[in-house]
Amino acid sequence: MNFKLKMNGALWESFCERMLRHEFTWKNFTSVPHHDRGDHGIEFFTNCGVIFQCYYPDPSYSMDEYRRHVQKKINEDLKKLSKHESEIEKMLGDIKISCWVLVIPEVRTKELLKYCKSKEKQIPQLSYSIPKGISVKIETDDSFPSGSIFSRRYIGEEINIDISDINTEITEIWKSQNSTFFDNICRKTNKFSESDLERLRTSLIRQYMQVEELMDAYRDQFPDLYTEVTSIAIVNLEALKNESLFVRDEPKNILMSLLQKNRDSIKTIEQSISNNNIEIFSSGLIARWLAECKMDFIINE
């Protein structure tokens, strides 16, 4: 949400247009010319029968103010659907509309969802609507993850997911609940000749738990980035495994090399990922391999 706080109505509309055009592709997406937008309650529409409107409420609004302004926007624009029925039908051609969607930065109250359902019942049967009528929805950019990531590139937005710290008490619980993984970590770290193995193992557990949380967040919010990062980790591990067949090195040096490979590779991803998230991914994916893989691979004796 942070990047959206810096926007205004015009920037939000441009962001949404890029996002939705990417999501639906140019063959299925039409943008109403700027000077006509708002006249008929339509900013964009798709060949699959969806009308889009964008609205950027002032982020400083109280909950009640936010609700009232969004409801006013919904009410005013839906009235235009019947008021300008003939003109809208000409613009749509053979397309039949099944859904009207208002895209806003954040859905702050469930009252807005209820309001959409109440307004849905008030839309008359229109010449360009499907027989069942037009549904009314409210969405954010979270509903269009691929398009949202694409559009963020144009505003220099950096992806950053805050991950909670892991204290010693939590790592001890993890050890007891994941004895097989902990045994793998112990077996592999025994080959490091590390003076403080306990501290190293605790650190690896923290990294493992943090990367699990981060990957869950990316899988949910940024699935394309999640796939890209996990693919990078697999490729880097496989490359280092192949290299180790020909050049022997100390386990610590091998893993430091893998850590740097992960950092460098993730930084090449077109969408900017924060240094904090890059570091969690880079070290955590190594910790994950050490814990979950039974075979030693690159650190075998």
Question: Which whole number is the average pLDDT over 114-140?
Answer: 95
Q: How far apart are CA 291 and CA 200, in angstroms?
A: 13
Torsion, Cα 20 23 29 33, to 10 degrees, reads 20
Residue 162 neighbours by CB under 8 Å, 6+ apart: none
Residues belonging to the chain:
301
Q: How far apart are CA 222 and CA 215, in angstroms?
A: 10
Q: For 284, what's the count of Cα atoms within 13 Å in the CB-facing half-sphere? A: 21
Question: Which whole number is the average pLDDT over 155-161?
Answer: 79
Per DSSP, 123 falls in state: P
Digit-coded pLDDT (tens) for 183-192 = 989 888 887 7
Which pair of tokens denotes residue 209? 């738990």
Are 105 and 12 a contacting pair, CB within 8 Å?
Answer: yes
pLDDT bracket for residue 113 (50, 70, 90):
very high
Per DSSP, 124 falls in state: P
pLDDT bracket for residue 126 (50, 70, 90):
very high
Digit-coded pLDDT (tens) for 161-170 = 889 888 889 9
pTM of the model: 0.62
Digit-coded pLDDT (tens) for 59-80 = 999 999 999 999 999 999 999 9
Give the containing element (helix H, strand E) for 113: helix 111-120
